[in-house]
Chain A
Amino acid sequence: MHFSRFLVLAGLLLALTAAPTFAQDYYAYVASESADEVALVRFDGEEATVEETIRVGRIPIETEGAHGLTVSPDGAHWFVSIAHGKPYGRVAKYETGTNEKVGTATVGMFPATMEISTVTGLLHVANFDLHGEQEPSSISLVDPSTMTEVEKIETGIMPHGSRFSPGGRMHYSVGMMDGTLYEIDALERTVTRTLTLDGDTPKPTWVQSHPSEPLAYVALNGGDAVLEVSLADWRVTRRFDTGEGTAPYNLDVTPDGETLVVTYKGTGETGIWDLTTGERLARLENSRTVTHGVVTTPDNRYAVVTAEGVGGEPGAVDIFDLKANERVASVDVGQQAGGVAFWKMEPTTAAASDASN
């Protein structure tokens, strides 16, 4: 490392450790599938508010299904998958902050979850394709600079949850209806390993890598369980039974690797698990039924959870305090709130102003 860079980092570290703890604002984007809206939600530690609602889609009289969300690694853009198209789905790219649309790419049927590889810079999109015949679908690779689909990699039946390993090289996704975990080498652009998950109808719906260990966690929506998979040995190493009828759907691991947060779609709850002991710390009710997505904040403190609701109910964003293990805030968003992506945390304006005086 250059000496000058060392000085910068040392200086920043010194400043941050010596500075008082600022109050934080947390920002997340939330997609509402039956409203074709994305809401920018801000949580100030006490209250959650919708800062802005962005209408998405191109055939406004039809429900196109804003489903998945991700924010680029540099935080400059957010991407939303639009499930229904003519007939293929699309991914739309927006600037964070201004929330102006800057491009779209047509991908496969019912694009769902997605993330950008920090190694290749390509956006990987899971084409869920939950319509019609159960046949293998794919992961679309999209060049986000021009929003061009450059390749499709065939995986399994109804690929849904998908995330990269921390290094951004290996991509993991699960085939909901073939019960299989897929690993793609982002460099080689090929499927490198598959792992059949247990049970007759495991219906895996999400996979998330551990931030520092060679582990991944898979939500079994049909098996009422979460599996821990060793990426080194490529086998299941632990099973967390979430409870009958919970139908775990999405999950996230806190950046410190200590806590697993799981959405229970079947019971409208959120489970908080200690990954060291394998014990559930809390099972908390959401403000609406049909719990869907979750993302934890970079400071390991909160989980931002979406709940779809049913019929005419609005969707909801619930904030869970992972220290107190309680729901501390909620805010209504558009119908069928699903995909959620964390954007940024920053000192609250008031706190920053106080500190400078």
Chain B
Amino acid sequence: MSFRSLRWAVGLAVACLVLAPPALAQSIEVDPADPTLEVGETQQLTGYYVDAEGERQRDTTIAFFSRNGRAAPVSRSGEVTAQAPGTHTLVALRPASGGQERLMTEVTVTVSQAPVAEVAFADVPSRVFTDTQVPVRAEARTDGGQVRDDVQIQLESSDPTVAEVDHLHRLSGKASGTVTLTARAEGQEATAPVEVVENPVASLDLTGGADSARTGDVLDFEATPRDANGAAVDDAPVHYAVRTEHTESIAPGATAEIGGDGRFVAEDAGQYTVVATSGSHTATHTVSVTPRNLDGRIEVVGRGRVSDVHTSDLWVWEAPADGRDYAITGTWGGDGEAYFWDVTDPANITPVDTVTVDARTVNDVKVSDDGRTCIISREGASDRKNGIVILDCADPTEVSVITEFTEQLTGGVHNLFIYEDHVYALSNGRRYEIINIEDRANPEIVSQFELETPGHSIHDVWVDDGIAYSSNWEDGVVLVDVDNGVQGGSPANPVEIGRYAYPSGWNHAAFPYDDEETGKDWVVAGDEAFPNGLNTENEPTIPAGWIHFIDFSDPDNPTEEARYQVPEAGSHNFWVEGDTLYVAYYNAGLRVVDLSGDLKGNLYEQGREIAHFKSFDPEGRIPNAPMAWGPQPYKGHIFFSDWNSGLWAVKLTSEE
């Protein structure tokens, strides 16, 4: 038969099929078809099979499942429970059997909120001053105590001539007297008495700050309301604002800010007037801000080019065997190699040894304080046991494998840290294991630390002064006492100190920075994000993310105060030494940033960057595509690894 004949036969058959009388479609139906429940209720659904003749019959083979098992779980037999408000989809499924095709239908379950059972004031002052404004907060709650944020609460004053409430629930004192505030929602109401008293403030002092500053300098202002006798009125509200008077004609963006705590900072040069207000009283202070004008330069001193494989992390140290300086670098997506370099003369970086292990990626490399022990991480091992490999690197020209350790680490170790005879090694991005390596040939797990949040995940851990700083993506930075004593922690008994998360969920690395000048304990937290993907061949990559400065001075109430954000680029690893931050900012290269003084706002916009260097290399793994991975300041030089070009040694200089 020719192909033409075949087509004719198929066409004839299809025509017969088309001309045949159509059969009615089979289906399944569910009772009730549109179930509606309140949170907490359950309801039994019933499935029916409707055959080709339209006859409907109960069918217990119909199975149910939920597409949102947390909000509306359903049993196989159709008992649905309303757990969360909204519309949720269930599926009723009649399995394929006896030549009959599988039938499915969706059932939309509408779950309404439980009604408001109570309205209550959550935050209301018992006394306010005339000519001042304070926020008021009321909540609508269900019988189970759940707060209904979706409910509009009406607030009303019994006498607006004494005290008035606006649409943003701000209470303004108008005249002396007493009012009753009433909050109403869904037929429920609550009341609260508020006394309005004559504002005793007779003057307002504005102190602190400075007459002049540089961009990025944080100035502390303090406004003090005083009565006629000069005594401070502590409960009189104060508001701050800043007025800009530019000294340059070029139109700037947002250039200065002052917070509710009186901390002021400017991004641009100019004159700024800080305005403090309390009631009808104001006080001002004008600051002249000049450019920071940091004039750093980065000079390339030496290279250890790696262009046949991507490079990962680095560590630089002095070897005890000969007192010379060495560096170790890892490899990414390669053959499981770690390279050792003699960097004693940074202008003549020389490869001295290579260790190859069963892995595709050696993402992290760390060296013990005594310089005798190197530990490298493994991912992509052919036996899928991964784990870590402990090396004797006392003589980096003849490195030997002491042992590998894979217990609890088979999911791959992405990062690790060595601190006082213990290794802190990530396990499958889920937790970190704490491993005693006093006997290097026989490591022993002594404990682990894992978060309790749903879907938690960890990316990095760094230990300093007995505190482990872990970076946990959506869960942010977590501080754990592992030998500091602040919480009685030890390697065998890690105890959490505090944590801080930010909305992007990009937390990738963390580094402590205790500022002696301000006395603040900062945790510098870095992002990693690839919204534009990662190009492993041929093209440069444009990552995203920045550096967050979190004031952890009060571990119970950490606050994010500043950032360092380079546009169109993405942060990676970093290091703080003294008041200087060194950032490997992927496609933006190596960045050196001045952290002196207090921190607030965007340090990049403030001109706090001392210098930067983009590691272009025409012979790189991807040519001319800077991808700085990790920096380390060491003995007056800055060493950094670049994903596309290997090891660099540079020096920070300033113009004559």
Contact = CB atoms under 8 A, between A and B. Distances in A.
Interface of A: 2-5, 7-8, 10-12, 14-15, 18-19, 33-35, 55, 59-63, 84-88, 106, 109-110, 118-122, 130-133, 141, 143, 146, 148-151, 168-169, 186-189, 289-290, 308-312, 335-336, 352, 355-357
B97 A119 contact: yes
Closest 7 CB pairs of A and B: A312-B335, A60-B534, A86-B457, A131-B411, A18-B1, A34-B380, A4-B20
A107 B205 CA distance: 60
Contact of A187 (B23, B95, B335, B528): B95
Nearest to B308: A312
B96 A168 contact: yes
A336 B383 CA distance: 11
Given A121-B102, A130-B410, A143 B67 contact: yes
Contact of A311 (B67, B356, B384): B356
Contacts of B1: 14-15, 18-19
Contacts of B6: 15, 18-19
Contacts of B292: none
A192 to B, nearest CB: 14
A95 to B, nearest CB: 19
A355 B534 contact: no
Interface string B341-371: 0000000000000001011110000000000
A87 B528 contact: no
A18 B13 CA distance: 16
B20 A143 contact: no
B2 interface: yes
B502 interface: no
Contact of B20 (A3, A35, A122, A189): A3
Interface stretch (B235-243, B426-434, B608-616): B426-434
Interface residues of B, number: 67
A311 B355 CA distance: 13
Contact of B380 (A130, A149, A336): A336
Given A85-B457, A355-B2, A356-B3, A151 B65 contact: yes
Contacts of B91: 143, 150
B97 A8 contact: no
Interface string B81-125: 000000001010101110000101000000000000000000000
Contact of A356 (B4, B20, B97, B356): B4
A121 B457 contact: no
B513 to A, nearest CB: 25
Contacts of A86: 429, 455-457, 473-474
Contacts of A7: 12-13, 16-17
Contact of A308 (B67, B382, B408): B382
Contacts of B429: 84-87
B305 interface: no
A87 B96 contact: no
Contacts of A356: 3-4
Given A33-B380, A62-B414, A87-B429, 5 more contacts: A63-B361, A86-B455, A132-B411, A149-B69, A311-B334
7 contacts: A18-B5, A84-B428, A130-B410, A150-B91, A289-B382, A311-B335, A355-B3
Contacts of B428: 84, 87, 109-110, 131-132
Contact of A15 (B9, B334, B410, B473): B9
Contacts of B528: 61
Nearest to A336: B380
A208 to B, nearest CB: 21
Contact of B104 (A4, A85, A121, A309): A121
Contacts of B473: 86
Given A11-B9, A132-B411, A310-B358, A5 B102 contact: no
B76 A35 contact: no
A309 B360 CA distance: 11
B5 to A, nearest CB: 8
B16 A312 contact: no
Which of B19, B89, B412, B458 has the most chain A CB atoms closer than 10 A to its own CB? B412
B333 interface: yes
B114 to A, nearest CB: 26
Contact of A312 (B20, B23, B360, B411): B360
Contacts of A189: 63, 76
Nearest to B433: A132
B473 to A, nearest CB: 6
A19 B6 CA distance: 8
B330 interface: no
Interface in B411-451: 411-412, 414, 427-430
Contacts of B481: none
Contacts of A310: 358, 382
Contacts, number: 174
Nearest to B90: A150
A311 B336 contact: yes
B634 interface: no
B354 to A, nearest CB: 13
A119 B65 contact: no
Contacts of B25: none
Contact of B412 (A55, A63, A187): A63
B96 A188 contact: no
Interface string B451-483: 000011110000000000000011000000000
Given A60-B533, A132-B408, A132-B428, A14 B96 contact: no
Contact of B360 (A88, A148, A149, A311): A311
A133 B411 CA distance: 11
Interface in B2-47: 2-6, 9-10, 12-14, 16-17, 19-20, 23
Nearest to A188: B76
A141 B65 contact: yes
Nearest to B95: A119
Contacts of A118: 96, 102
A62 B414 CA distance: 8
A33 B536 CA distance: 16
A287 to B, nearest CB: 15
Given A8-B17, A87-B428, A188-B76, A131 B61 contact: no
Contacts of A186: 95
Contacts of A312: 309, 334-336, 360
Given A131-B410, A150-B66, A356-B4, A34 B333 contact: yes
B379 interface: yes
Given A4-B19, A87-B429, A146 B379 contact: no
Nearest to A61: B534
Contacts of A146: 67, 89
A150 B20 contact: no
Contact of A120 (B67, B102, B457, B536): B102
A119 B67 contact: no
A14 B61 contact: no
Contacts of B359: 311
A18 to B, nearest CB: 4
A59 B14 contact: no
Which of B6, B63, B332 has the most chain A CB atoms closer than 10 A to its own CB? B6
Interface string B534-548: 101000000000000
A60 B427 CA distance: 19
Interface string B511-549: 000000000000000001010011010000000000000
A59 B530 contact: yes
B456 A87 contact: yes
B68 interface: yes
B472 to A, nearest CB: 9
A166 to B, nearest CB: 13
A352 B5 CA distance: 14
A356 B2 CA distance: 7
A198 B531 CA distance: 50
A270 B61 CA distance: 43
A169 B95 CA distance: 9
A309 B430 CA distance: 28
Nearest to B385: A130
A63 B67 contact: no
